[in-house]
Chains A and B, each alone.
Chain A
Amino acid sequence: MSASYQSVLWNRQKKIYDQVLGGFIVLYLATFISSNLIINPEITQETLIIRSFGTLAILLLHIILMIGPLARLNTVFLPLLYNRRHLGVTMFFMAAIHGVFSIVQFHSLGNINPIVSVFASNIHYESLTKFPFQALGFIALIIFFLMAITSHDFWLHNLSPRIWKTLHMMVYIAYTLIILHVLLGVLQFETSPVLVSMLAVGMIVIITLHLLASGKEFPTDKPFQSQVFDQYVMVCSVDEIKENRAKVVCLEAERIAIFKYGNKVSAVSNVCKHQNGPLGEGKIIDGCITCPWHGYQYLPHNGSSPPPFKEKVATYKVKVVNREIWIDPTPFPEGTEVEPSIIK
């Protein structure tokens, strides 16, 4: 969380994250290249680079796509989410090295532009076995490029979280293109079952995790059925909410997080202004609601980030009657002061 833009807001967690990532990349490349040289000593340097960086990029892409649903399913994985964008940018660079070397190797010696050659040198678009699979990889690389250059918070703020998130959800389209790139490309002449099996396992794991996570999330969006009195909806008993934690309900258009802290209750929008993280799954630290994704903070009584920060979320009117929490589902404008309800 920062009041001004910096290229990278380094802290101890990010440094450890990146050191582990760097170590993993070096270890993977060393293992892949040395084992390939042992198995096939005649392999060229260009082929080694193309294959090692290509497989590394796919592996990193699978890890990236696993982090989101894992964090939704279990909070143990939240630390992996914290610095996922560094992982994403690294994956783009690995994929770019694979792409650039492939284009130079296979498309730079003709008499047409190498980029045009990717799409025009093979025009068997009707064939499965001869499909120009490199075109699919190139389109995926463009999507990864757009994601990498807009990964900084500067773009998040200027594009708005909604547009930024929509843009970054194009990773699913890119993932589909990458799977097809491999299926219609290397798997059409790869005789070893190892690569096919690894890709199948990775794909099944990704799909299963995302289906489980979305299956867990989706029911929460069903309209909350409860008693209604004078615009207020009865949500739960105060005893159902742990100290400094929240209960999340979906009363109208969006989810609401109802926090209990001390002998007070306040309600704010569940959507963090940074990356739309689930505020209700965070906790109150130093008097502030703290987003579990990247630590953005808001004061529970007015939904505003403490100065000098400027983020604001909508607040809601709450009252506690006979230890029952009642909430008016009509949101106040973002950052509106609402007196917390006192638990008597």
Chain B
Amino acid sequence: MIRPLRRYHYYMWRFLAVLLVVGFILAILWRPAIISSPNEPESADLQLQKNHTP
């Protein structure tokens, strides 16, 4: 690698080390208390279906 790319590589991974680890911890800590699949319909969606049913 040429010098500017080595430098980019050096600083990029120091930045990513912080970003990814902090992001990972936050994503785990801030997970919703009640875990539900995004594929499951929410109550609002069901309400919408009822209203449009002839």
Contact = CB atoms under 8 A, between A and B. Distances in A.
Contacts of B23: 179-180, 183
Contact of A214 (B9, B26, B27): B9
A254 B13 contact: no
Interface residues on B, range: 20 to 34
Given A203-B24, A254-B2, A271-B2, A129 B31 contact: yes
A129 B30 contact: yes
Given A128-B30, A196-B28, A179 B13 contact: no
User: Contact residue range for chain A?
Assistant: 35 or more
A176 B27 CA distance: 14
Contacts of B1: 165, 271, 276, 278
A253 B6 CA distance: 12
Interface string A181-197: 00110011111000010
Contacts of B36: 189
A98 interface: no
Contacts of A180: 23
Contacts of A200: 24
Contact of B35 (A175, A176, A179, A189): A189
Nearest to B17: A207
B44 interface: no
B35 A207 contact: no
B9 A176 contact: no
Nearest to A175: B16
A162 B4 CA distance: 10
Interface in B30-54: 30-32, 35-38
A250 B20 CA distance: 32
Contacts of A278: 1
A169 interface: yes
A183 B6 contact: no
A211 B14 contact: yes
Nearest to A180: B23
Contacts of B17: 207, 211
B3 A214 contact: no
11 contacts: A169-B12, A175-B16, A179-B23, A183-B23, A183-B27, A203-B20, A207-B13, A210-B13, A211-B14, A217-B10, A221-B3
